[in-house]
């Protein structure tokens, strides 16, 4: 609690003690009035002062003014205890609200506490701490154990493990060594690292993320806009209602029914109205829910750019995926060696050596599978036959490595591969020696993610790819995605998404998930664009509405779950708060609810709504 809140707490305690004491004592007349004025002023002086200023500024619907009218009215009617109590509970409510909001503000900003305070540089053999903003590109910075990496760069010296959880929500530490690219915001766990910076601080990942999160809730959701509009009309409406309630029934009583006017009774009922006239519960709990939802999501490595996107995400019933880099790893790897007459390793070795002069991605994946440095002295007479493959002499043996066309050209019988992917056939001294299958591999959680999306009630899941039809369909079947469109150029993807959008109902939303490379137009065209693996990719962060810090497709499901929970809480609060208020207004008008009930309802609803809102921060971990 801060100083201001403590002061209010003390006032609440004093006023409550005095109020209880005085209401037990058998007091009468002016003495009772005078004594009750003490707790009333202790608890309400600032409200009265603000109410006075409100009148000067013609702010009639100011809540301080309304509280002042309600309590002063009650005191004039002789209901001293109630006058004090209303003020007291109003202050308790305000205190609770300010405490809860302050607390969640703090919690959430701690979650996003990834801003580095300094960077270490070495000057004449001693280490100096300087402002990260002052570090120029290409500077060598030193990161000690336990420190955050302040700026993106490449490791020049040292090995260590990094904790990336603040960025990705991923708890497994990452091993890094010299030559690896590292991003700012990771915590260096084990060794001292020297890093050559590749960006300025302002362009580094940390700065980008912070900027995104800090600006996130400026895009307000429909619910938030609805509530501010509601608040604008609700208070004046209730006030006019109160005025009518105070004046009309007594006049009717006198003129039409020839009854006594019962002014006191009706004014009392009208004052109850004023007590319920504050829309606080709603006005505070809805933004708080979104704030907590966005905060909770960012802890999981899911950055949502605005509360409106949480709303859209919750309504998503169709998820469109780009294939390469999103569902698959986007790197080609050797996945198998078939029909081979030698060991797998030998086959890969020959292929890698024969292809070693080629810069084709296939050749790269062969080298990677081989995993050892290439001894070029073993290779002679390399001939590249464009569109077919290569022939070379390796260790004195004639090696031919390439596609089916190459084998046909050399007149060698070969085996077709039954699997999907790129095939490299190998022949040694004119004899077929088997083939190597190279394919883009699915990500570890792809199948699980697609399954979970269907389980979460997605009507449709779609895969878009530039791959050949048979490859695409094979992958689609394996992961269980419901629709697939293949052989698409980047521009076709936008068209496909537009077609799919046209099929969506008014309240149904379409999400597109891509890796941010080449698909920025699609990301912005979809109802909601989700970019994954965004660490270090500025284009993706710019274009997307939701950014997944790592590249796990399961996060898409998680994001949708978080959004739905958040929206559910928002609706619960809207219905609950408005429902209770309307109920109290009706009961108050009928004379069933007194001021006590009204103030309890008002403060109670607010407390419950705020507690419910904070629930959005808690996210189930598996």
Q: Where are the beta strands (DSSP E) in 310-421?
A: 316-322, 328-338, 379-385, 389-394, 397-402
* Least distance between another protein and beta carbon 82 (Å): 23
Q: With CB under 8 A, what is the number of residues at the site for another protein?
A: 29
Q: Is 103 one of the binding residues for another protein (CB under 8 A)? A: no
Q: Which stretch binds another protein (CB under 8 A): 94-102, 384-392, 485-493, 579-587?
A: 94-102
Q: Which stretch binds another protein (CB under 8 A): 90-98, 312-320, 492-500, 588-596?
A: 90-98
How many helices (H) and strands (E) the chain has is answered by 20, 22
Using the rule CB under 8 A, which residue among 94, 322, 519, 551 binds another protein?
Answer: 94
Q: If you compute the radius of gyration of the chain from its CA atoms, what whole number of angstroms results?
A: 35
Q: Is 518 one of the binding residues for another protein (CB under 8 A)? A: no
Phi, psi of 496, deg, nearest 5: -60, -45
**Complex with another protein: residue 220 or 509, whichever CB lies closer:** 220
Q: Is 53 one of the binding residues for another protein (CB under 8 A)? A: yes
- In the window 284-313, what residues touch another protein (CB under 8 A)? 284, 287-288, 290-291
d(CA 104, CA 537): 30
Using the rule CB under 8 A, which residue among 7, 105, 405, 469 binds another protein?
Answer: 105
CA distances from 186 to 115, 148, 305, 376 (A): 10, 6, 22, 39
The residue to which tokens 């001894």 are assigned? 375
* Least distance between another protein and beta carbon 106 (Å): 12
- Four-point Cα dihedral 93, 97, 99, 104, nearest 10: 160
Residue 506: how many other CB atoms lie within 10 Å:
5
Supply 322's token pair.
Answer: 């780009």
**Complex with another protein: residue 407 or 614, whichever CB lies closer:** 614
Q: Which stretch binds another protein (CB under 8 A): 196-204, 283-291, 397-405, 534-542?
A: 283-291
Closest CA to 485 of 446, 512, 505, 458: 512
Burial of residue 598 (CB within 10 Å: 0-12, 13-18, 19+) is buried
Burial of residue 28 (CB within 10 Å: 0-12, 13-18, 19+) is exposed
Q: Which stretch binds another protein (CB under 8 A): 210-218, 384-392, 424-432, 591-599?
A: 210-218
Q: Is 322 one of the binding residues for another protein (CB under 8 A)? A: no
Using the rule CB under 8 A, which residue among 62, 200, 262, 542 binds another protein?
Answer: 62
DSSP string, 36-62: HHHHHHHHHHHHHHHHHHHHHTT-TT-
Contact 350, 426 (CB under 8 A): yes
Q: Is 232 one of the binding residues for another protein (CB under 8 A)? A: yes
* Least distance between another protein and beta carbon 606 (Å): 10
Residue 597: how many other CB atoms lie within 10 Å:
17
* Least distance between another protein and beta carbon 19 (Å): 24
Using the rule CB under 8 A, which residue among 42, 239, 275, 280 binds another protein?
Answer: 280
Supply 317's token pair.
Answer: 């019933």
Using the rule CB under 8 A, which residue among 74, 87, 283, 401 binds another protein?
Answer: 283
Q: Is 228 one of the binding residues for another protein (CB under 8 A)? A: yes
The catalytic site residues sit at 322
Supply 239's token pair.
Answer: 């006030």
By CB under 8 A, name the binding residues for another protein.
Answer: 50, 53, 57, 59, 62-63, 94, 97-98, 101, 104-105, 214-215, 217-218, 220, 228, 231-232, 278-280, 283-284, 287-288, 290-291
């Amino acid at each position: 609690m801060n100083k201001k809140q403590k002061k209010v707490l003390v006032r609440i305690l004093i006023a409550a003690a005095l109020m209880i004491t005085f209401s037990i004592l058998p007091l009468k007349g002016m003495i009772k009035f005078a004594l009750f004025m003490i707790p009333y002023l202790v608890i309400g002086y600032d409200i009265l002062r603000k109410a006075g200023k409100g009148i000067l500024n013609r702010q009639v619907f100011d809540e301080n003014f309304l509280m002042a009218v309600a309590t002063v009215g009650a005191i004039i009617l002789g209901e001293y205890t109630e006058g004090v109590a209303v003020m007291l509970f109003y202050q308790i409510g305000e205190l609770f609200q300010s405490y809860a909001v302050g607390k969640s503000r703090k919690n959430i900003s701690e979650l996003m506490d990834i801003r580095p305070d300094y960077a270490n540089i070495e000057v004449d053999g001693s280490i100096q701490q300087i402002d990260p903003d002052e570090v120029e590109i290409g500077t060598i910075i030193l990161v000690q154990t336990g420190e955050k990496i302040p700026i993106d760069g490449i490791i020049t010296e040292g090995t260590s493990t990094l904790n990336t959880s603040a960025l990705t929500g991923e708890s497994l530490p990452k091993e890094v060594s010299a030559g690896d690219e590292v991003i700012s915001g990771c915590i260096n766990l084990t060794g001292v690292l020297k890093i050559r910076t590749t960006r300025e601080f302002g362009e580094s990942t940390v700065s980008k993320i912070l900027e995104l999160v800090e600006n996130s809730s400026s895009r307000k959701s429909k619910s938030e806009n609805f509530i501010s509009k509601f608040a604008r009309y609700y208070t004046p409406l209730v006030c006019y209602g109160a005025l009518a309630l105070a004046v009309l029934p007594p006049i009717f009583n006198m003129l039409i029914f020839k009854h006594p006017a019962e002014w006191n009774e009706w004014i009392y009922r009208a004052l109850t109205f004023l007590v319920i006239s504050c829309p606080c519960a709603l006005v505070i709990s809805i933004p708080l829910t979104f704030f907590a939802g966005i905060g909770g999501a960012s802890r999981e490595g899911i950055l949502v750019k605005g509360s409106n996107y949480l709303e859209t995400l919750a309504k998503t019933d169709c998820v469109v995926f780009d294939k390469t880099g999103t569902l698959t790893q986007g790197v080609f790897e050797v996945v198998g060696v078939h029909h081979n007459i030698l060991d797998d390793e030998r086959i890969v070795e020959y292929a890698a050596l024969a292809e070693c002069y080629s810069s084709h991605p296939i050749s790269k994946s062969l080298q990677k599978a081989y995993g050892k440095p290439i001894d070029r002295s073993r290779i002679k007479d390399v001939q590249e036959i464009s569109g077919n493959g290569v022939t070379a002499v390796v260790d004195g043996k004639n090696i031919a490595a390439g596609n089916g066309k190459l084998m046909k050209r050399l007149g060698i019988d070969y085996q077709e591969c039954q699997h999907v992917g790129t095939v490299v056939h190998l022949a040694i001294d004119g004899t077929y020696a088997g083939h190597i299958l190279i394919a883009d591999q699915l990500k570890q959680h792809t199948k699980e993610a697609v399954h979970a999306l269907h389980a979460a009630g997605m009507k449709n899941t779609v895969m878009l790819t530039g791959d050949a039809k048979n490859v695409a369909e094979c992958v689609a079947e394996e992961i269980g995605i419901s629709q697939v469109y293949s052989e698409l150029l980047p521009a076709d993807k936008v068209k496909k998404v537009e077609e799919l959008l046209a099929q969506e109902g008014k309240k149904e939303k379409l999400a597109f998930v891509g890796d941010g490379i080449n698909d920025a137009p699609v990301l912005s065209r979809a109802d909601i664009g989700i970019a994954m693996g965004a660490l270090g990719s500025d284009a993706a962060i710019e274009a997307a509405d939701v950014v997944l810090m790592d590249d796990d497709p399961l996060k898409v499901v998680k994001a949708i779950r978080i959004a739905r929970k958040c929206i559910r809480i928002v609706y619960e609060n809207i219905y609950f708060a408005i429902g209770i208020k309307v109920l109290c207004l009706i009961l108050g008008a009928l004379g069933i609810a007194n001021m006590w009930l009204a103030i309890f309802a008002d403060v109670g609803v607010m407390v419950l709504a705020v507690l419910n809102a904070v629930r959005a921060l808690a996210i189930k971990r598996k």
